[in-house]
Amino acid sequence: MGSNSYIIVTGGAGYIGSHTVVELIHHGYNVIIIDNLCNSSYEAVARIEFLVRKSILFYDIDLRDEKQLSHVFSSHNIQGVIHFAALKAVGESTKIPLDYYDNNINGSITLLRVMGKHNVKTIVFSSSATVYGDATRFENMIPIPETCPNDPTNPYGKTKYTIENLIKDLHTSDRTWRGAILRYFNPIGAHPSGLIGEDPLDIPNNLLPYLAQVAIGRREKLYVFGNDYESHDGTPIRDYIHVVDLAKGHIAALDYMNNLKHDIGLYREWNLGTGKGSTVFDIYKAFCKTVGTELQYEVVGRRDGDVLNLTANPTRAKQELKWNAALNVEDACRDFWKWTTENPFGFRVDNYQWKLFNESDTPNYKNRLHTVKFPDLQVSFANYGALIQDVRYKDRGLVVGFQEFKPYTSDDNPLFGSTVGRYANRIANGSIQIEGTTYNLDKNQNGSTLHGGRNAFNRQYFLGPISKQYKDSNTLEFILLDKDGNNGFPADVETVVKYTVDNNSIEIEYQSSICEDSLKDATAISLTNHSYWNLSDGETIDGTILKLASDKYLKVDPKTLLPSGEITQSTQPLTKSIELVPDVSFDNCFIVGESDFALDTRSRELKAIAEASHPSTSIKISVASTEPAFQLYTGDNVDIDPFRARAGFCVEAGRYLSAINYLPWSKQVLLHKGEFYGSKLMFSFTC
Amino acid sequence: MGSNSYIIVTGGAGYIGSHTVVELIHHGYNVIIIDNLCNSSYEAVARIEFLVRKSILFYDIDLRDEKQLSHVFSSHNIQGVIHFAALKAVGESTKIPLDYYDNNINGSITLLRVMGKHNVKTIVFSSSATVYGDATRFENMIPIPETCPNDPTNPYGKTKYTIENLIKDLHTSDRTWRGAILRYFNPIGAHPSGLIGEDPLDIPNNLLPYLAQVAIGRREKLYVFGNDYESHDGTPIRDYIHVVDLAKGHIAALDYMNNLKHDIGLYREWNLGTGKGSTVFDIYKAFCKTVGTELQYEVVGRRDGDVLNLTANPTRAKQELKWNAALNVEDACRDFWKWTTENPFGFRVDNYQWKLFNESDTPNYKNRLHTVKFPDLQVSFANYGALIQDVRYKDRGLVVGFQEFKPYTSDDNPLFGSTVGRYANRIANGSIQIEGTTYNLDKNQNGSTLHGGRNAFNRQYFLGPISKQYKDSNTLEFILLDKDGNNGFPADVETVVKYTVDNNSIEIEYQSSICEDSLKDATAISLTNHSYWNLSDGETIDGTILKLASDKYLKVDPKTLLPSGEITQSTQPLTKSIELVPDVSFDNCFIVGESDFALDTRSRELKAIAEASHPSTSIKISVASTEPAFQLYTGDNVDIDPFRARAGFCVEAGRYLSAINYLPWSKQVLLHKGEFYGSKLMFSFTC
């Protein structure tokens, strides 16, 4: 496939869609997700991006909107479509059939018409074993082959059946169309990462989600609908297939069509099932084993329309698509349990919301602003530079930041709130040596490299975040893949920035490592956060009372501002407390641990390195870290509307200034493949 | 049903739709037709109106246009919908399936949604026996009952099947919905009036239309697809049902639902068929007998998908709807042959086109302008007053008329081109006596009644026209139902104005009669046409050379302008020729036949009554009629922008001035129930 050609996945934010997108990317496909999010969440897309370390084009479009849909097809080179988007709850479909017919059929008609107009004639259609209806009405029809006559018994199934027919009729009218119809049996499980899974918004209809909610205490007990069927334990038999296997079936179908000769069309149905039936009790037992508890259940009467056995005959897919379900029910139980315990409410996270940060005509989902809100503390983070845009403690703003996105991209922005990397602070002459090789970095300040260069971490969109909620705190995890050669640094480096916010603190955890497939094995790395604090009720920090854990700092050449290796002591009583009167300025690297050269400091206890307050407010900030040093900067060079000099001060916990170029210190910042760079910082607030 | 409540008929301009509208109106229903005319013609609506003597609300709307559709439901009190609108060609559906799914299914989804929103929950759905697919796949399934499993084999049939299911699912979701599914077998025939029928735009797919085209020479021969089936003559058996019977089935279904108890919903399928199968050769023979010729045919191979026998079991409709097919194949052949011979190209008529006359936001189809065009002569007629709006002979305009509609409604409009009635010319004191009863008419001019009063024929919209094409001429027939009491005249009177246009003449035929159900049995009637001719190249008729067939005219009282009964002779040489110089004025009733008191003069030969020309052009007009008199008027009182006095002259052939009030003459204008008033006029042009 061409490197610029895309597979469109409609409904790619949904359960099966999201798992399929992950597999598509793992198989080298470029993906565009189209989803109107009517029954799914953009969180799924953010998590896929996190999982695959790749940005994915996303359009919030209803398929019935022909104009918007056409625009997507006109804007990209599309090679085919995997079409999941549909309303899919059988019970609901009997209550609001018009919505089902309209959304599912009309959406498909519009999609197919737009495809045809753009000469995109390859579609994988997400169908369902529901189209068979009650296959037990025939003799010897279990396991169900694709040749079983169709007779769907509910509006949902009828819409799937109608769309299958539409694709079939379209292929008959124009034999160059390629349509692969995939009829799913009972998808279960979740991605083994625990990041994506089924997210039932209501009472779950499906067995495993229901059982999982019993297991975590959201439901009292499982209801078993009939135990008088002719199975080994009396409960009905279904064909449960792990969602990752199912997802891979789509890749197999796509590959199958791509391997057809040029101009050869196709219309073909394939069952995606395991061929192995499991009873309700089989699943129940497997899941109880995974959880390690006997979950409560009650046997009640049979449900209308339920039949003994609906197991797939998957022979056709095995033979033709070379596809096989590789995972079993135990795998599904394990993965689903991980998903449930790590995301007890699915993608819904309390205390958290996001919005687009830069609202242009075409929404850019890469550029979002995420707010975590507790009663006393509210913090906003942007994907851009994984920066802290706003900190409000007891309704008072404490950091310098812009309301709008644009000024963050200005050359005059002194990295307000940003994650600083790949290399914080100054590197003399923009040159580093790593194991005998000299790398020339981007020189962005007076012949030196400051904060990593021009296209550094603070100028890139981090992927994610993974947003999670714990008992008393929320976390947001961002990830950045910084490519080998960017700004001159060697090696592909993956960096995770994890923020933990509770009612009175923000913790930051940094972790970097060289990607396994990086061509280079070593690099320099040094990360910190560049928030400008102002605790006063005025526009400058003047009058701030400051106390540091250390009054020792690295001596620097007054001309180059670079360290000589010598440590000196401040003449000010910094470890007691000083007032930041207008003529007291700092831009110094203070030393906390004099012979501390660890690469990953995360296992240490957080140690207070600075405390500050201002008499005009009663708010106190305490900065703690696991790091051997911190840069104290009084913001004297700030000059970007509406902010002026001394608008905020920074306490940038991290490694020794320019450690990479001073051999005794370089262990702090020299990262090899297989190692982790790591650190923790924390800002706490009291009143 | 409430007198202000309507049945919406979607696709009401189509074959079955139009016949159903006629039956609905005959059964007392008020009808609104919605049709996007994508495969039908507004002519059908005009002809229905002509046929039922009633104006019908018509909306040119695509059902998928939810906004426009909602507007119709908001504007009227709708009691139910009969839903025909659909693409319906099986063969075409296999070529453009997306259009079929979109138009048929999406149109129905939108219709049902709009109905639901407006709490209109009664629908009769036009389905098809196609939903059964090949019923011979089962044993003993002929004749086909409604319980035969569905398995449509083409996109058209699948859309019908899907919509049936949608209505079924909707009823399941909300039991107050009422859905009657009518599954048609093979509709044939046409309305016995010959005015409406099947109008295949392409090569006919159906047997009878094809045979009819062979009969009139449009096709060479019939192809019989297989004569080796196990029928009595080897050709396959179908259930042919007369379209009028079919139409009545819809009334039966509607009545059935209306008779259900309040709040009782319904979902039910009924076959509409005769229960009697006919082979292709049976139909062939019946039609040949009707036509009176042995039509040519050729037996060729079987068609894909054809089966031996598809005959309905109509028992359910008989028992539940009390409906029965009353007409047979011979009736259908007779009616279809009449339709075909009278409309060999269906609704398509050469030399003719129409447009809306008054284009407002909501198109008013009652108000149209119809143009018949021959190489030398082009004439335009409006529904309003069945008036002649324009006559162009050799590209020169010959009559006074407005380009816009509005001025025609002005009080200053001196009836330019209009049909004059119910009573042309002046009635003294606005009072007439008919068989002992005095009727006081609308006095619209100086205490007298002129040209029938204020709301006379010239101020009403005529229905129709029926537009037809003959070898060298075209006809347009308009009809008006003038109600008892209008302007004070007694009796309901039906008047047909038929124009025949050829390359150099316009003939007008008038026919009036009292409606059978009129409460009054006698009335006064006198009709003519009020065109103002101007053959000059200037703005007045001055200089026109005029010659009349008579120089005798009715003497009138100079004060009342009413005749004394005396006939006098002009001093001018009118039977030779005179020049209409500015001081020569006429407004006199000339007498052609002195003792001519016939009520219907149509059987007579047309006799020239006037000839005129003007030296500035070479065009000559000759006026002929079958009438005993004519009013000559030199237009001296014309005064409406942009026209002034003597803008045109009129030769109004008709009855003696005020004949109703002068006993010896009154036979000319006294119409009794059962009689016809009739006359002919003709304007011929030479150059």
Residues of B with CB under 8 A from a CB of A: 93-98, 101-102, 105-106, 109, 112-113, 116, 149, 151, 155, 158, 162, 165-166, 169-170, 172-173
Based on the domain organization, do A589 and A485 belong to the same domain?
yes
For residue A294, being part of any structural domain is answered with: no
Place of tokens 């050669």: A485
A98: nearest CB among B94, B112, B158: B112
Partner-chain contact B109 A116, CB within 8 Å: no
Place of tokens 């090696």: A491
Q: Report yes or no: A575 and A616 within 8 Å, Cβ to Cβ.
A: no
Neighboring chain B residues of A169 at a CB cutoff of 8 Å: 93-94, 97, 101, 155, 158
Based on the domain organization, do B261 and B357 belong to the same domain?
no
Q: Nearest residue of B to residue A154 by CA position?
A: B169
From B616, B592, B597, B619, select the one nearest B681 (Cα to Cα): B592
Cα distance between residue B134 and residue B152, in whole Å? 8
Q: Is residue A137 pLDDT above 50, yes or no?
A: yes
CA atoms within 13 A on the CB side of B479: 18
Based on the domain organization, do A21 and A163 belong to the same domain?
yes
Among B98, B134, B156, B170, the strongest candidate for a mutation testing the A interface, having the largest count of A CBs within 10 A, is B98
What's the CATH code of the domain at B52?
3.40.50.720
> Sorting pLDDT into bands at 50, 70 and 90, what band is A1?
very low
How far apart, in Å, are the Cα atoms of B303 and each of A286, A471, A564, A593, B235?
57, 72, 96, 93, 12
Q: Residue B1 has what pLDDT?
A: 44
Based on the domain organization, do B484 and B586 belong to the same domain?
yes
Rg (CA), chain A: 29
Q: Residue A557 has what pLDDT?
A: 85
Partner-chain contact B169 A158, CB within 8 Å: yes
Q: Report yes or no: A541 and A646 within 8 Å, Cβ to Cβ.
A: yes
B98: nearest CB among A151, A162, A170: A170
Among A166, A168, A304, the strongest candidate for a mutation testing the B interface, having the largest count of B CBs within 10 A, is A166
Q: Is residue A481 pLDDT above 60, yes or no?
A: yes
Partner-chain contact A169 B158, CB within 8 Å: yes
Based on the domain organization, do A618 and A672 belong to the same domain?
yes
Of B242, B451, B530, B614, catalytic: B530
Of A19, A83, A530, A614, catalytic: A530
- Residues with Cβ within 8 Å of A330's Cβ and at least 6 positions away in sequence, in order, are A286, A289, A290
Q: Nearest residue of A to residue B92 by CA position?
A: A173
Q: Tokens representing A533?
A: 């604090």
Q: Residue A472 has what pLDDT?
A: 96
Cα A34 to chain centroid, rounded = 17
Cα distance between residue A544 and residue A526, in whole Å? 28
Neighboring chain B residues of A172 at a CB cutoff of 8 Å: 94, 97
Residues B167, B173, B175: CA angle, nearest 5 degrees: 85
For residue A215, being part of any structural domain is answered with: no
* Percent of chain B residues past pLDDT 90, beyond the cut: 91
How far apart, in Å, are the Cα atoms of B76 and each of B22, B80, B115?
20, 11, 12
Neighboring chain B residues of A175 at a CB cutoff of 8 Å: none
Cα distance between residue B290 and residue B287, in whole Å? 5
Neighboring chain A residues of B158 at a CB cutoff of 8 Å: 162, 165, 169
Question: B91 to chain A nearest CA, in Å?
Answer: 11
Q: Give, as one character, the DSSP assignment of residue B519.
A: S
Q: Tokens representing A275?
A: 């061929």
Place of tokens 């629908």: B123
Based on the domain organization, do B317 and B373 belong to the same domain?
no
Q: What is the mean pLDDT of residues B518-530?
A: 97
Q: Give, as one character, the DSSP assignment of residue A103.
A: I
Neighboring chain B residues of A164 at a CB cutoff of 8 Å: none
Q: Residue B142 has what pLDDT?
A: 93
Question: B14 to chain A nearest CA, in Å?
Answer: 25
Q: Tokens representing A426?
A: 């100054």
Burial profile A115-154: b = 16 or more Cβ within 10 angstroms, e = fewer: beebebbbbbbbbbbbbbbebeeeeebbbbbbebebbbeb
B173: nearest CB among A96, A105, A162: A96
Q: Give, as one character, the DSSP assignment of residue A441.
A: P
Neighboring chain A residues of B162 at a CB cutoff of 8 Å: 101, 105, 158, 162
Using one digit for the tens of pLDDT, what is the confidence trace for B201-236? Answer: 778 888 999 999 999 998 999 999 999 999 999 999
From B545, B602, B534, B184, select the one nearest B391 (Cα to Cα): B534
- Residues with Cβ within 8 Å of A401's Cβ and at least 6 positions away in sequence, in order, are A380, A387, A388, A389, A390, A416, A417
Using one digit for the tens of pLDDT, what is the confidence trace for B14-34? Answer: 999 999 999 999 999 999 999
> Sorting pLDDT into bands at 50, 70 and 90, what band is B2?
very low
Cα distance between residue A634 and residue A621, in whole Å? 15
Q: Nearest residue of B to residue A116 by CA position?
A: B98
A101: nearest CB among B97, B151, B166: B166
Burial of B164 (0-12, 13-18, 19+ CB in 10 A): buried
Q: Nearest residue of B to residue A106 by CA position?
A: B106
Cα distance between residue B152 and residue B131, in whole Å? 5
Burial profile A540-568: b = 16 or more Cβ within 10 angstroms, e = fewer: bbbebebbbbbbbbbebeeeebbbeeebe
Q: Nearest residue of B to residue A155 by CA position?
A: B169
Q: Is residue B561 pLDDT above 80, yes or no?
A: no
Q: Nearest residue of A to residue B174 by CA position?
A: A95
For residue B208, being part of any structural domain is answered with: no
Cα distance between residue B196 and residue B154, in whole Å? 29
Based on the domain organization, do A257 and A372 belong to the same domain?
no
Q: Tokens representing A116?
A: 């045809």
For residue B227, being part of any structural domain is answered with: no
> Sorting pLDDT into bands at 50, 70 and 90, what band is A3?
low
Partner-chain contact A169 B97, CB within 8 Å: yes
* Percent of chain A residues past pLDDT 70, beyond the cut: 100
Based on the domain organization, do A527 and A646 belong to the same domain?
yes
Question: B272 to chain A nearest CA, in Å?
Answer: 25
Residues of A with CB under 8 A from a CB of B: 93-98, 101-102, 105-106, 109, 112-113, 116, 149, 151, 155, 158, 162, 165-166, 169-170, 172-173
Question: B387 to chain A nearest CA, in Å?
Answer: 47
For residue A398, being part of any structural domain is answered with: yes
Q: Tokens representing B247?
A: 């139409």
Question: B521 to chain A nearest CA, in Å?
Answer: 56
Q: Report yes or no: A539 and A415 within 8 Å, Cβ to Cβ.
A: no
Q: Is residue A78 pLDDT above 90, yes or no?
A: yes
Q: Give, as one character, the DSSP assignment of residue B57.
A: E
For residue A225, being part of any structural domain is answered with: no
B169: nearest CB among A97, A166, A169: A97
Partner-chain contact B162 A105, CB within 8 Å: yes
Output the furthest CA–CA distance in chain A (Å, rounded). Answer: 95
Characterize the bridge pairing of strands A240-242 and A186-188: parallel
CA atoms within 13 A on the CB side of A160: 31
Q: Report yes or no: B258 and B1 within 8 Å, Cβ to Cβ.
A: yes
> Sorting pLDDT into bands at 50, 70 and 90, what band is A387?
very high
Q: Tokens representing A230?
A: 């002719």
Q: In sequence order, what are the beta bridge partners of A555? A: none
Place of tokens 């229903």: B29
> Sorting pLDDT into bands at 50, 70 and 90, what band is A206?
confident
- Domain of residue A494 covers 352-686
Q: Tokens representing A118?
A: 């753009």
Based on the domain organization, do A640 and A497 belong to the same domain?
yes
For residue A245, being part of any structural domain is answered with: yes
Using one digit for the tens of pLDDT, what is the confidence trace for A530-563? Answer: 999 999 999 999 999 999 999 999 999 888 778 8
Domain total in chain B: 2
Based on the domain organization, do A174 and A315 belong to the same domain?
yes
B530 is annotated as an active-site residue: yes
Q: Tokens representing B687?
A: 């150059």
Cα distance between residue B655 and residue B625, in whole Å? 11
From B305, B166, B83, B106, select the one nearest A161 (Cα to Cα): B166
Among B110, B165, B175, B267, the strongest candidate for a mutation testing the A interface, having the largest count of A CBs within 10 A, is B165
Neighboring chain B residues of A95 at a CB cutoff of 8 Å: 173
Partner-chain contact A172 B97, CB within 8 Å: yes
Neighboring chain A residues of B165 at a CB cutoff of 8 Å: 155, 158
Rg (CA), chain B: 29
Burial of B262 (0-12, 13-18, 19+ CB in 10 A): exposed
A166: nearest CB among B101, B113, B166: B101
The mean pLDDT of chain B is: 95
Burial of A446 (0-12, 13-18, 19+ CB in 10 A): exposed
For residue B537, being part of any structural domain is answered with: yes
Question: A97 to chain B nearest CA, in Å?
Answer: 6
Based on the domain organization, do A360 and A317 belong to the same domain?
no
Q: Tokens representing A431?
A: 């040159």
Q: Is residue B450 pLDDT above 90, yes or no?
A: yes
Q: Residue B200 has what pLDDT?
A: 73
Based on the domain organization, do B318 and B357 belong to the same domain?
no
B98: nearest CB among A95, A97, A112: A112
Question: B184 to chain A nearest CA, in Å?
Answer: 22
Q: What is the mean pLDDT of residues A410-415?
A: 96
DSSP secondary structure, A256-311, as one string = HHHTSPTT--EEEEEEES-S--EEHHHHHHHHHHHHTS---EEEEPPPTT--SEE-
Question: B170 to chain A nearest CA, in Å?
Answer: 6
> Sorting pLDDT into bands at 50, 70 and 90, what band is A564?
confident
Q: Report yes or no: B28 and B255 within 8 Å, Cβ to Cβ.
A: no
Question: A167 to chain B nearest CA, in Å?
Answer: 9
